[in-house]
Chain A
Amino acid sequence: MRSQRTRGLLLHGVLIFGTVLAMFPFYWMVVMATNSTSDIYQFPPKLTFGSQLVTNLRNVLDSIDFWGSMLNTVIVACTTTLLVLFFDSLAAFAFAKYDFPGRRMLFGILIGTFFLPVGLAIIPGFVIMVELGWVGSLKALIVPAAANAFGIFFLRQYIHNAVPDSVLDAARLDGAGFFRQYLSVVVPIIRPGLAFLGIYTFIAAWNDFIWPLVVLVNPDQLTLQVALQQLNTVHGLDYSRIMTGALLSVIPLIAMFLLFARNFVSDLAKGAVRE
Chain B
Amino acid sequence: MTLSRTAAPAAAHKTRIRIGPRRAPGRRRRVLAHWPQYLAISPFYVLFAVFGLAPLLFSFYLAFQRWDGIGEMRFAGLDNFEYLISDDIFWLSLWNTLLIWVMSTVPTLTLALVLAVLLHSVKRFKAFYRMAFFIPNITSTVAISIFFGALFATNYGLVNAGLEAVGLPEVSWLQNAWGIKIVIAVLTVWQWTGYNAIIYLAGLQTIPSDLYEQARIDGANAVQIFRHVTLPLLRPIILFTVVLSTVGGLQTFTEPKVLLGDTAGTGQSGLTMVFYFYRSAFSHNDYGYGAAIAVVVLLVVALFTILNWALVQRGQNERSR
Contact = CB atoms under 8 A, between A and B. Distances in A.
Interface string B71-90: 00000000000000000000
A210 B202 contact: no
A124 interface: yes
Interface in A167-206: 177-179, 182, 203-204, 206
Contacts of A98: 34, 37
Contact of B9 (A15, A28, A112, A272): A112
A149 B254 contact: no
B253 interface: yes
Interface stretch (B102-110, B114-122, B209-217, B311-319): B114-122
B56 interface: yes
B149 A15 contact: no
B227 interface: no
Interface string A93-133: 11100101100111111111111111111111111100000
Contact of B282 (A25, A179, A214, A245): A214
A53 interface: no
Given A210-B254, A269-B198, A236 B149 contact: yes
B274 to A, nearest CB: 8
Contacts of A12: 122, 125
B47 A15 contact: no
A40 B147 CA distance: 13
A202 B259 CA distance: 25
B30 A124 contact: no
B14 interface: yes
Contact of A272 (B34, B36, B199): B199
Contacts of B38: 94, 100
B50 A128 contact: yes
A65 B51 CA distance: 29
A272 B237 contact: yes
Bin the interface of chain B by size. Answer: 35 or more
A28 B147 contact: yes
A32 B297 contact: no
A239 interface: yes
B118 to A, nearest CB: 6
Contact of B121 (A11, A101, A113, A273): A11
Interface in B1-25: 1-7, 9, 12-17
A121 B142 CA distance: 21
Contacts of A250: 139-140, 143
Interface string B272-309: 00100110011000010011001001100100000000
Given A117-B247, A265-B130, A272-B4, A93 B138 contact: no
Q: Which of B134, B147, B155 has the most CB of A within 10 A?
A: B147
Nearest to B63: A123
Contact of A128 (B45, B51, B164, B301): B51
A76 to B, nearest CB: 14
Nearest to B30: A101
A91 interface: yes
A123 B56 contact: no
Interface stretch (A56-64, A158-166, A225-233): A225-233
A19 B294 contact: no
Interface of A: 8, 11-12, 14-15, 18-19, 21-23, 25, 28-29, 32, 40-45, 87-88, 90-91, 93-95, 98, 100-101, 104-128, 143-144, 146-150, 152-154, 177-179, 182, 203-204, 206-207, 209-210, 214, 224-225, 228-229, 232-233, 236, 239, 242-243, 245-247, 249-250, 253-254, 257-258, 261, 265-266, 268-273, 275
Interface of B: 1-7, 9, 12-17, 27, 30-31, 34, 36-38, 40-41, 43-45, 47-48, 50-56, 58-59, 62, 69, 115, 118-119, 121-122, 125, 129-136, 138-144, 146-147, 149-151, 153, 155-156, 158, 161, 164-165, 190, 194, 198-199, 201-203, 206, 237, 240, 247, 251, 253-254, 257-258, 261, 274, 277-278, 281-282, 287, 290-291, 294, 297-298, 301
